[in-house]
Structure 1
Amino acid sequence: MPRVVIAPDKFRGSLTATEVATHLAAGLRAAVPGLEVTLAPVADGGEGTVEAAVAAGFERVPAVATGPTGEPVGTAWARRGGDAVVELAAVSGLDVLPGGTPAPLTATSRGTGELVAAALAAGCTRVVVGIGGSACTDGGAGLLRALGLRTLDHDGHPVAEGGAALAGVERVVTGGLDPHLREVDLVVACDVDNPLTGPAGAAHVYGPQKGASPGEVDRLDAALAHWADLVASVTGVDRRDVPGAGAAGGVGFGLLAVAGARTRPGADLVFELTGLAEAVAGADLVVTGEGSLDAQSLRGKAPTAVARLAREHGVPVVAVAGRCLVDAADAEDAGFAEVLTTTEEAGSEEASLADPGPALERIGRRLGVRLAERLATAGAGGAGGAGAAGGAGR
């Protein structure tokens, strides 16, 4: 019996990665009864990272932590043995801002630090922190405060949360940091290489996405530079220009400079945790995708990383997306034998966004029929082989 691995990322705004995979699997199984289907939802360190870990067998650990504007947020982290997965987007991200209202100057990463602290207290020896989707530009100060760092003003009082308040920090005290940080392997899942400050830094590149005006961007960049100066004076090493320091509003900097973390490409790290390579090996087809397959997707985001992994194992890959904004040649260069979209299947982008499930199931059914035909041809001695489920196109 043929085997298919379904490894999509989320369709942002409509379906989680698990829901996308489930709909595709329903269509495939309808076309090929008894088909062996492995559901392996993926993520690249941003939203959906904990979900991908749980789908791969990690335990979901419910928690309540501080949200980006100080309100409590119901969230979760994931655990399997000594490994923990923490997702910044689920507690300090744009999607959990109350009412969706940005708070570029005051948003904090404290809640992410609280989840890391929970994992340390639980005895985890490797903690993976996915840092995509941040609502804050606080240089990781909030996260570090949750782990015991103290940031004091000229009167010795604790400084308020948020990036703007970093301008008022006069002293950084590291003596109270959680001692488990010295013993744990702290890994940052990060796919950007921005420095902390400057024109390519956290405030200038990502601040506007978080609601910062031009004046606020300048204010945040100056505050981050002051923060980096203070941290360097305490640690003896200036890490503001390390690739990835500017990730998640500078959370990357805080983790690297103070918490002793190291970085890994987000998708590759998630694949390692979830055992995707083992699932792909020997499969007849891999199906991946995301809501919008675009130029950004081709720069190492999860679907392209899945295609690269499948290619290493000689398995054909089909991408299924809500919409496709890359041409056929670029899609083929990225490793996709075919790109299918729910927009085309549903007849319009509006219909696709409103209810993508039926379109995904029809696409899955079509892929199943094609796969069965290819395998039958191969079994009869034809030249088709297992091959891709269809020709290149979209």
Structure 2
Amino acid sequence: MKILLATNYLKGSLSAVQAAQAIKKGFLAVSDKFEIMEIPIADGGDGTLEAIKHYTPYKVMKSIVSGPLGDKVEAEWLVVDGKAVIEAAQVIGLSLLRPEQYNPLKTTTYGLGELIKQAVDYGCNEIILGIGGSATNDAGIGMLEALGYKFPDVKVKVACDVDNPLLGLNGASYTYGPQKGASQEDVKILEKRLSDFADLTQEKTGKDYRNIPGTGAAGGLGFALLAYANAELIPGFNLIAELSGIEEKIKHTDLVITTEGRLDSQTLQGKAPFRVAQMASIYNIPVIVFTGSIERDLKFEYPAFSIADGAISLEDSIKNASWLLENLSKNIARLIINFYGKQIS
């Protein structure tokens, strides 16, 4: 049996590669008849650079820039064929902060503007920017400030991990503000700030961008990049799918397994694991999702299994993620063998 592991970064615990290794170890511990292929995936958020490194030649760059709260961080980025590939989460990511530091009223995209300027000064003629996993909700105003409110004359392609608009109940502030530390009152303030900026932008450009899918990504960063950099907004998964050739590989496998840190309504907004599941279903290839946790009453049509083993704390689940994933894989492998028997070879 051929199994394709399209693994995604598991927040706070395992990289996409580490997740694949744990799953592979579990399956092969049960039977060496399983043929395992590993394809790290990402959707523009954490782990995007790691995934890209698997599919194309690159040069690693490192820059010191301002983090989400203004203190200095070292951010890695890549040069690929003269293009800068930047993962915003390296600069303004929620993963750079402790939970008690989450505050989208104070976090800023300023450091991302600094990094873009350094990439342009280096000589890159195109910016490919993955913007998922941010701690910010400033609509990219900080980034624009760092660039002197004038975006460099380079082509910009933005890999968005979600397709939300800027405003409204499905927009940046209401949908993602709370997970970045915003209270209900904070969300109202953030929404007003974004709405005012959208009005100002419309006055300046003569265009209304606020309802375009993807403008709500990364706390409205997608909006600023579209309006002020004339960026092309694309689903982040598409970038990795093209580089990896995952669709063709799915056609020739028997089972697809993908991973997600938490399976919830936001997963359905275009996150990589959901896109993998959709792609597999097109070719009638069964797919399984391994996840840290599952939102109650989530309407999700694909089989999903939590890696948590009984009543276990989030801290223990993260600490033992590799073992838990390996153990779950062993159980799924045994189930497959019991069902298919000798047919797996």
**Do they fold alike, i.e. is TM over 0.5?**
yes
Higher alpha-carbon deviation: 199-208 or 348-357: 199-208
Contact 2:43 2:159 in 1 (8 A): no
Q: 2:307 is matched with which residue?
A: 342
The residue that corresponds to 1:262 in the other structure is 232
Q: 1:56 to 1:30 in 2, by over 3 A?
A: farther
Question: Quick one: distance in 2 between partners of 1:320 and 1:191?
Answer: 20
* CA–CA separation in structure 2 for the residues paired with 1:100 and 1:190: 25
Rounded Cα–Cα distance in structure 2 between residues aligned with 1:74 and 1:138 = 21
1:281 aligns with 2:281: no
Aligned to 1:87: 87
Q: Relative contact order, CA 8 A, sep 6+: which one is greater?
A: 2
- In the other structure, the counterpart of 1:359 is 324
2:157–2:234 contact (8 Å) kept in structure 1: no
The Cα shift of 1:109 comes to 0.6
- Indicate whether 1:178 and 2:152 are aligned: yes
Q: CA deviation at 1:291?
A: 2.7
- 1:193 maps to a residue whose letter is N
Give percent identity, aligned residues only: 36
Can you list the C-alpha shifts for 1:119-151, whole angstroms capped at 9, x where unaligned? Answer: 4445545533222222222221222233x333x
Query: How many Å apart are 1:322 and its aligned residue?
Result: 2.6
Of structures 1 and 2, the larger Rg is shown by: 1
- Is the CA contact 2:293–2:306 (under 8 Å) kept in the aligned structure 1? yes
For the aligned residue pairs, the C-alpha RMSD in angstroms reads 3.1
Answer yes or no: is 1:130 the counterpart of 2:96: no
Whole-angstrom distance in 2 between the partners of 1:263 and 1:225: 20
User: Cα distance, 1:34 vs. partner?
Assistant: 7.4
Q: How many residues align?
A: 341
Aligned counterpart, 1:192: 163
User: Mind listing any 5+ residue stretches in structure 2 that lack a counterpart?
Assistant: none
Shift of 1:371: 5.4
1:306 positional shift = 1.0
The two structures have a TM-score, normalised by structure 2, of 0.83
Q: Counterparts of 1:100 and 1:77 in 2: how far apart (Å)? A: 27
Paired residue for 1:153? none
The answer to whether 1:377 aligns with 2:340 is no
Aligned to 1:112: 112
1:271 is matched with which residue: 241, 247, 270? 241
Q: Distance in 2 between matches of 1:208 and 1:326?
A: 18
Letter aligned with residue 131 of structure 2 = I
- State the match for 1:73 in structure 2: 73
Moved more, 244-253 or 292-301: 292-301
Please give the per-residue CA displacement for 1:213-236, whole angstroms capped at 9, x wherever unaligned.
555444444433343343333333
Matched-pair contact (CA < 8 Å) for 1:295–1:326:
no
Which string of whole-angstrom CA distances, capped at 9 and with x for unpartnered residues, describes residues 35-77 of structure 1?
A: 5422222222222222222243453433322101111112212
- Alpha-carbon deviation of 1:256? 0.6
8 A contact 1:11–1:17 mirrored in 2: yes
Deviations 1:187-237 (A, max 9, x none): 3424132224x5554344443443345554444444333433433333332
Q: 1:186 to 1:122 in 2, by over 3 A?
A: farther
